[in-house]
Structure 1
Amino acid sequence: MKRFLWLAVPVFISSCDYSDIFSTKDKDEIDKLVNRSLNNMVVIKGGTFQMGDFGRLIGEKLPLTGENDNKPLHDVTLSDFSIGKYKVTYKDYDVYTEVTGKDKLELPKVLKSNPKLRAPDMPVSVTWDQANEFCLWLGKSAGKNISLPTEAQWEYSARSGGELVVYATGSGNFEYGKDIPSGEQRYQMTDESVYNIPVGKFPPNKSGLYDMAGNGVDWVKDWYSEKYYRQSQKNNPQGPENGTEKVVRGYQSGGGVMTNQSVFRQHEKSYPGEEGHGFPPNYNFRCVIN
């Protein structure tokens, strides 16, 4: 995966039940975060869809990508779930680090002169472990089964319930300036032309989800395997039992028309960089209620 400027981020561990250990002020902040997060969840009706490269079912009947890991097309059946309308933001994550006593995430020195990259409504950039721990903590705080989405849940949501949607944008197309931000628009919003922009600035997909394309990649729950689609279970697949890299889905800055399709799979180490140097500030996430 293409590398950009690096973002240093510490590793976090999960919190305890906040009802016994947090102050009244902290409990109020947690309640606000939980309520905001739950209110931003979009209910996705489960069903059966064909997951993977569906190019042979549309248009010229040709594969959408030249990759092997999103083939064969295979049936997947999912139960109902809810998924975050927006990516988790710095505003959300700062509450989490504050009330649990974790270190606040900071931009690397080379980017600290640009506070727009760490605005409250910017998608937070974290490791897979940090994303996973946040969702589990949120679930514990809310008393619900909350986690990162599985890869199947993510694709089903991006394709608006498994429809044959090539791009997870408001129109289903991939037009700079209309469906996803152009470099000029990115610069206008952040003084940078290659990084994320604040959440929710472009129309959502048909399911009502923002930034499923065009604004960084999302961590999902699954380990990555190039051959997984050949052996995926049909009902609520959870991905391989183990692996060395995690799946990320969505838009990677610098990617082209093919790499930003709803069926394109990407993968990365759970810490997507080199120890001591951090990683690109485009690794984001959203949570699901199972």
Structure 2
Amino acid sequence: MLDLTPSYRLLPALILSFSTLPGCSFYYDAKAEDMAERQMETMVFVEGGEFMMGNPGGWDGSRDSWPPHQVVLDDFHIQKYEVTQKDFELFMAQTGYEPSDKRYEEMIDENPERFAGELPAVASWTDANTFCQWLGEQTGKNVTLPTEAQWEYAARAGGQMLRYATRNGKAIPDETMAAGPTPHARDGRPYDEMLPVKPGSFPPNPLGLYDMSGNVGEWVSDNYSKDYYQESPVSNPSGPEEGQKDIFDGDPYRVLRGGNFQDFGGNTTVTRRKGSQPLASETRGFRCTFSERAS
């Protein structure tokens, strides 16, 4: 039977061929059911409330995180860890889903080590969104990617004035997080190398959430607009209906949060925003959320 904990990512066609063998469908169904249960077990309850979203001044160097503005959120749950490559592969094997980014197999060939099972999943925005929706279908919950407001509120441990999503809001190399590329090493690993999702290489933030600053940039559900904070509604904002679009193919830009392992410290703060084409990259991952509020 196929080993679902490979050192490197298997090609989608190979995974699909195994999933169509006699008996394998039941095997993957059972594995996927267990995996969905595990995903939901990692959900952390976040009590809603009011906070000032955005850069209060000096937290990052971007203009699109200004001005700070009042936001009120309902209660929600968010995963304590980023989704792993292993679990994303299991989702693909069980459903026959193929990555939306046509460069996916080329990326595997160029950097197979990045597709190790316990690293964060390599996923386009569409892939990440589809995974969360599938998780919702398996569990009967309203599972989605977090909104940008939910992500920041959770990273700031309920909207506290914390610049980084760490145990004390500070970026201290080799203690709270890997703040960015440096010549130093931790357990033989340079800081500009990605670290596995579990059990978490550094302590979580006060809500128990891991790696929301500096491992991979995390997709959120919102369309991206550099001016959105000037018009954001107060209650449960979910991003602009239409944001910036790619000038060539018209695809909407989506928001990435948290920075990644290749970024310097200012890009890994809880307020830094990045608008991007919804493509897969070795520096991008995601986590899911759910709330009882109807979408």
1:45 aligned to 2:40? Answer: no
Instruction: Find the residue that maps to 1:258 and give its secondary structure.
Output: helix
Q: Is 2:163 the counterpart of 1:166?
A: yes
| Distance (whole Å) between structure 2 residues aligned to residue 66 and residue 86 of structure 1 | 27
Aligned pairs (5 A) from 1:103-122: 103=98, 107-112=107-112, 114=113, 117-122=114-119
Q: Secondary structure at the match of 1:153?
A: helix
Which stretch shows the higher mean deviation, 67-76 or 156-165? 67-76
For residues 1-290 of structure 1, the aligned pairs below 5 Å read 23-55=25-57, 63-103=58-98, 107-112=107-112, 114=113, 117-181=114-178, 184-185=184-185, 188=188, 194-199=192-197, 200-243=200-243, 244=245, 245-271=253-279, 280-290=281-291
- CA shift at 1:42, angstroms? 0.3
Q: In the TM superposition, what is the alpha-carbon distance from 1:185 to its structure 2 partner?
A: 4.0
What is the number of residues matched between the two proteins? Answer: 253
Deviation at 1:26, TM superposition (A): 2.8
What is the rounded CA distance, in whole Å, between the counterparts of 1:132 and 1:65 in structure 2?
27
Q: Secondary structure at the match of 2:171?
A: coil
How many Å apart are 1:53 and its aligned residue? 1.0
Cα deviation, residue 170, structure 1: 2.0
- With structure 2 as the length reference, what TM-score do the two structures score? 0.79
Q: Spell out, residue by residue over 1:186-208, the C-alpha distance to the aligned partner (whole angstroms, 9 max, x if none).
A: 7835xx76342101111110110
Shift of 1:24: 3.3
SS of 1:259 mapped into structure 2: helix
CA RMSD of aligned residues (A): 2.3
Tell me if structure 2 keeps the 8 A contact 1:186–1:197. no
| Structure 1: distance between partners of 2:118 and 2:185 | 16
CA contact (8 A) 1:54 1:164 kept: no
Structure 2 CA distance, aligned partners of 1:132 and 1:152? 17
Stretches of structure 2 that go unaligned for 5 or more consecutive residues are 1-8, 13-23, 246-252
* 2:44 alignment partner, SS class: strand
Q: Give the letter for the 2:188 counterpart.
A: Q
Which piece of structure 1 moves more, 157-166 or 168-177?
A: 168-177
Shift of 1:171: 2.5
| C-alpha displacement of 1:183 | 5.6
Indicate conservation of the 8 Å contact 1:78/1:153, yes or no: yes
Q: Give 1:251 shift.
A: 2.1
What's the % identity of the aligned pairs?
38
Cα deviation, 1:109-164, whole Å, max 9, x if unaligned, reads: 2323x3xx332211011110000010001101111100000000000000000000
**Aligned residue type for 1:281:** E
Cα–Cα, structure 1 residues 109 and 288, in superposed 2: closer, same or farther, change >3 Å? same
